[in-house]
Amino acid sequence: MTMPTWLIQFAAAMALLVALATAWLGWAASATPATSAPAGDSDLPARRWVWALVLLVPLLVVLVYARLGHPVAANPAHHLHQQSPLTMVDKLAQRLRENPDQPEGWLMLGRSYQVLSRYADAAMAYEQAEPLALQDVDTLTDWIESRMQAAQGHFDARSLELLRKAQALETDHPAVLLLGGLAALDRGDQPAATRLLKRLQALTPDGTPDRASLDRALEELAQGRDPRLKPSVP
């Protein structure tokens, strides 16, 4: 399917937004130590795994478009002087409502909403792109992440169904393991959460912030505590 010109232009503008967001999150991760937090909170242990997927996937999509012969996608500044990325997100949503038979557009919209922390909107956009989303584990975990965030860290029946599909695609994908651990915690199954997070720990290099967060989460679990919850103040 040929990509519409307006979708290519939108992808180019989003590249700059993603780059800025990635730089900000990198600074925040290095400046603030990871701590345990409530479900869905930004301080949730090992959340950087999911954030990295959320932010890097759309950037990689844009780079692929440019590689395949869309040079306009390599020059986002050319479009940003005319309208902001937020405006372009709204325009993309409007175009898709008028012409919904654009699964690539719905995927881009879902990723864009996720960057903007509009998780309920992101989940609805991914739903419109279900045939494509179900074929790619990164997109599928983004979709599950959006649903979980929109539900304040909880997994409903649809999210669990999507998680099973992601596990069937790639059992040991880091985001799949993390989401599986969070789903186990959500249903109160700490032994299952421990098993999944230990598998993720084995895939995470020593000395990294992600490994430190996982180590702390597993220590909390070993002591019978939910690592998503902040310790009570005496």
- The residues, ordered by sequence, that sit 6+ positions from 214 with a Cβ below 8 Å of its Cβ are 45, 46, 197, 200, 201, 204
Share of the chain above pLDDT 90, in %: 59
Mean pLDDT of 137-156: 97
Maximum C-alpha span of the chain:
61
For 220-234, the pLDDT digits (tens) are 999 999 998 865 444
Q: How confident is the model at residue 142 (pLDDT cuts 50, 70, 90)?
A: very high
User: What ranges do the domains of the chain cover?
Assistant: 5-222
Considering the entire predicted model, what is its pTM? 0.64
Q: What amino acid is encoded at 67 in this protein? A: R
Is 134 in contact with 158 (CB distance < 8 Å)? no
DSSP secondary structure letters along 90-147: HHHHHHHHHS---HHHHHHHHHHHHHTT-HHHHHHHHHHTHHHHTT-HHHHHHHHHHH
- What is the C-alpha R_g of the chain? 18
Of 94, 159, 96, 92, which Cα lies nearest the Cα of 129?
Answer: 96
User: What's the rounded Cα separation, in Å, for the pair 190 and 8?
Assistant: 45
For 161-201, the pLDDT digits (tens) are 999 999 999 999 999 999 999 999 999 999 999 999 999 99
Mean pLDDT of 87-104: 92
Is 155 in contact with 163 (CB distance < 8 Å)? yes
Checking if the pLDDT of 154 tops 70, the result is yes
Checking if the pLDDT of 51 tops 80, the result is no
Share of the chain above pLDDT 70, in %: 62
Does the domain at 5-222 match CATH 1.25.40.10? Answer given as yes
Q: How confident is the model at residue 130 (pLDDT cuts 50, 70, 90)?
A: very high
In this prediction, residue 70 carries a pLDDT of 43
Mean pLDDT of 120-147: 96
Give the residue with greater pLDDT, 48 vs 103. Answer: 103
Is 12 in contact with 49 (CB distance < 8 Å)? no
Checking if the pLDDT of 32 tops 80, the result is no
In this prediction, residue 233 carries a pLDDT of 47
Give the dihedral of Cα atoms 65, 69, 75, 80; nearest 10 deg: -60
User: What's the rounded Cα separation, in Å, for the pair 165 and 159?
Assistant: 10
Mean pLDDT of 111-135: 95
Is 180 in contact with 167 (CB distance < 8 Å)? yes
Mean pLDDT of the chain: 77
Of 96, 145, 93, 108, which Cα lies nearest the Cα of 17?
Answer: 108
CA angle, 138 as apex, 128 and 193 as ends, to 5°?
110
Per DSSP, the chain holds a count of helices (H) and strands (E) of 12, 0
User: What's the rounded Cα separation, in Å, for the pair 42 and 34?
Assistant: 9
In this prediction, residue 87 carries a pLDDT of 85
In this prediction, residue 13 carries a pLDDT of 56
Give the residue with greater pLDDT, 78 vs 161. Answer: 161
